[in-house]
Chain A
Amino acid sequence: MIRMKNLRSFHVGPWGPAVLAFALAACSSTPTVTPQGAVNFAVAQLSDAQRHYVSDYDPQALRQARAKLAEARKALGGEDPQQVRDLAAESVLLVQVGTIKAELARTIANRDKVQRHIDALKALAGEQQ
């Protein structure tokens, strides 16, 4: 617990700014992706989604992902690289959501199909009796 009285009596000294800079730099140790690299990755993920038939099951997610990617591309010309990275990351995540949703839909469809088979088997067994 830092008391205000102690804060007031703080003497930063000559090393203060350097230590502060080091502490802040340590917080951002994650390697930064270039805005163009983030956009390229999002493009690749969108292309890959076609292989998983995402558009068949969750076209809305793909539309949103494409819209985010378009925004990211547009922001490439701006002055905020973080905005480009954020938009590209959102596009990638939307593709992931779509891919997983498609897989869930496929799994449920398969389950329902087998259930229909079982119902038919029971009905045919009833026909024999």
Chain B
Amino acid sequence: MRANSALQGLLLAAACVTAAAGLNGCASTSRLMGLTQPDPAMVKVTGQLAQLQADPQVAQFAPDALHDAVAAVDAAQHAGGGEAHARHLAFMAEKRVEIARMLTDIQVQRGNYERLLAQRNAMGGGDRYITTLAQDSVATLGTPAAIAAAADGSAATTPEPEAAVPAAPAPPPQPTPEVAVAVKPALPKTAAPLKPTAVSPAASAPVDAPLSADVLMRFAAADFDGHGHITDATRDRMYDLLPKFVRAPKARITVSGGNSAQVAGVRNQLLNFGVPTWRLATAKGSGPVAVSMKGGS
């Protein structure tokens, strides 16, 4: 008999919980808008959640956030504990849905970014310029030692014997995607030898000196490897120069300062970007390597 009473109690408790859940299911609507009018905010959130659930990208890129959103919307639909708490749960549900959507968008945009980055690096030479262009530059511009001699103005009097000067050591070739080879612009065969012009004031300023309308970029020693090639990070920064070059299609670009290998490294990268040779010049300077631009736009 006592066991029977306990069972009845348990059943009553279950009934109470079920009834409470059923009533709470209407809580967010009845409390906020009356018994017959659904809460517009919850209707909106529920619709947004349905869109999320129908989007396979959300399940792929933000499964945890989607799970949280589903739980939050469910909690809001079955809200209990007063009107303020119901509003709170509705607010949380709305934000959880927003988070799931944004996390998905981040992953999608990251994918787009990676795709564009690969395309850009293939067009701009990527890593290959170190092996291909450095060798080209030795052929067209002379060896680093010859360039250095030219920069010192002593090329005519003390020419470097070709046989005595080893070619610029190139790092081991790195595997590159085929698409990169296909779209890489060829180094202009008409690249003029480096003929330093007058000393450039741009190359006399320290690395951290403020840039100006003329001086677009300065390079620190860390921007180059031991061979005067620019590093990957430096090349990434150099891409920011290109829109400025395009906006001023008649402007001349001068690479100055640093040592001859560094100047050649920057110049080669600009050539590899597709900057026409007629726009490029080099100049002496006592400061770090700098890229400056002058002339009409």
Residues of A within 8 A of B (CB): 2, 7, 10-20, 22-24, 27, 80, 82-83, 86-87, 89-90, 93-94, 96-97, 100-101, 103-104, 107-108, 110-111, 113-125, 127-128
Option from A27, A90, A110 in Cβ contact (under 8 Å) with B91: A90
Min CB gap B79→A, angstroms: 11
Closest to A85 in B: B88
Among A17, A19, A80, the one with the most B-chain Cβ atoms within 10 Å of its Cβ is A19
Q: Kindly state the separation between the CA atoms of A13 and B91 in the bound complex, as whole angstroms.
A: 42
Q: Knowing A107-B106, A108-B109, A120-B243 are in contact, say whether A97-B15 is a contact too (CB < 8 A).
A: no
Q: Knowing A20-B9, A124-B274, A128-B276 are in contact, say whether A97-B98 is a contact too (CB < 8 A).
A: yes
Q: Is B149 positioned at the interface, with any CB of A under 8 Å from its CB?
A: no
Option from B109, B273, B276 in Cβ contact (under 8 Å) with A121: B273
Closest to B105 in A: A104
A89 CB contacts on chain B under 8 angstroms: 88, 92
Q: Is B258 positioned at the interface, with any CB of A under 8 Å from its CB?
A: no
Please tell me the number of chain B residues within 8 Å of chain A, measured between CB atoms: 52
Contact indicator A20/B116 (Cβ below 8 Å):
no
Closest to B84 in A: A83
B98 CB contacts on chain A under 8 angstroms: 97
Option from A24, A90, A111 in Cβ contact (under 8 Å) with B109: A111
Q: Knowing A90-B91, A116-B243, A120-B245 are in contact, say whether A107-B103 is a contact too (CB < 8 A).
A: no
15 CB-based A-B contacts, threshold 8 Å = A2-B11, A2-B18, A13-B5, A13-B8, A15-B6, A16-B5, A16-B12, A20-B16, A89-B88, A93-B91, A96-B99, A100-B102, A111-B112, A120-B245, A125-B123
A122 CB contacts on chain B under 8 angstroms: 123
Mask for B1-32, Cβ within 8 A of A = 1, else 0?
01011101111111111100000000000000
Q: Kindly state the separation between the CA atoms of A113 and B8 in the bound complex, as whole angstroms.
A: 69
B interface, over-half SS? helix
Q: Kindly state the separation between the CA atoms of A117 and B103 in the bound complex, as whole angstroms.
A: 26
Contact indicator A127/B274 (Cβ below 8 Å):
yes
Contact indicator A110/B8 (Cβ below 8 Å):
no
Contact indicator B9/A12 (Cβ below 8 Å):
yes
Closest to B15 in A: A2
Q: Kindly state the separation between the CA atoms of A15 and B8 in the bound complex, as whole angstroms.
A: 9
Min CB gap B32→A, angstroms: 16
A15 CB contacts on chain B under 8 angstroms: 2, 5-6, 9
Option from A93, A103, A128 in Cβ contact (under 8 Å) with B185: A128
Q: Is B124 positioned at the interface, with any CB of A under 8 Å from its CB?
A: yes
Contact indicator B113/A111 (Cβ below 8 Å):
yes
Q: Kindly state the separation between the CA atoms of A65 and B75 in the bound complex, as whole angstroms.
A: 22
Q: Kindly state the separation between the CA atoms of A17 and B8 in the bound complex, as whole angstroms.
A: 11
A19 CB contacts on chain B under 8 angstroms: 6, 9-10, 12-13
Contact indicator B120/A90 (Cβ below 8 Å):
no
Q: Is B119 positioned at the interface, with any CB of A under 8 Å from its CB?
A: yes
Q: Is B85 positioned at the interface, with any CB of A under 8 Å from its CB?
A: yes
Among A94, A96, A118, A121, the one with the most B-chain Cβ atoms within 10 Å of its Cβ is A121
B102 CB contacts on chain A under 8 angstroms: 97, 100-101, 104
Q: Is B56 positioned at the interface, with any CB of A under 8 Å from its CB?
A: no
B243 CB contacts on chain A under 8 angstroms: 116-117, 119-120
Q: Kindly state the separation between the CA atoms of A20 and B85 in the bound complex, as whole angstroms.
A: 23
Q: Is B95 positioned at the interface, with any CB of A under 8 Å from its CB?
A: yes
Q: Kindly state the separation between the CA atoms of A16 and B4 in the bound complex, as whole angstroms.
A: 11
Contact indicator A117/B120 (Cβ below 8 Å):
yes
Q: Kindly state the separation between the CA atoms of A107 and B113 in the bound complex, as whole angstroms.
A: 8
List B238-259 residues whose CB lies under 8 Å from chain A: 239-240, 242-243, 245-246, 249
A101 CB contacts on chain B under 8 angstroms: 102
Q: Is B81 positioned at the interface, with any CB of A under 8 Å from its CB?
A: yes
Mask for B102-138, Cβ within 8 A of A = 1, else 0?
1101100110110011011001100000000000000
